[in-house]
Amino acid sequence: MNNAKDFITKIQTDSSFRISLYEYDKKNDLFDFLKESGYSFTEIELENTLNQMLTRCQYQEIGEQLETIKIWWNMLLM
């Protein structure tokens, strides 16, 4: 799950990386790119990591950011 957490941190801090993910129309291509970029995780691992982070967060603002990431990720995979 460290890869998923590292990925979450990356998309929070690197807007050009986040924007580059829009180039992939197919889920498999996206996951191949992520793996090549050093982020190897499954959809379930990312979901579990986000849920863990939400459970542990102590501030509403951080919780809202994580919820926004969940929504963004789900839209990206459509």
- Tell me the pLDDT tens digit for each residue of 3-29: 999 999 999 999 999 999 999 999 999
This prediction's pTM: 0.90
DSSP letters of 24-78? --SHHHHHHHHHHTT----HHHHHHHHHHHHHH---HHHHHHHHHHHHHHHHHT-
Tell me the pLDDT of the chain averaged across its residues: 95
- Tell me the pLDDT tens digit for each residue of 34-59: 999 999 999 999 999 999 999 999 99
Question: Distances from the Cα of 47 to the Cαs of 16, 62, in angstroms?
Answer: 23, 16
pLDDT at residue 36, rounded to an integer: 96
- Residue 4: phi, psi to the nearest 5? -65, -45
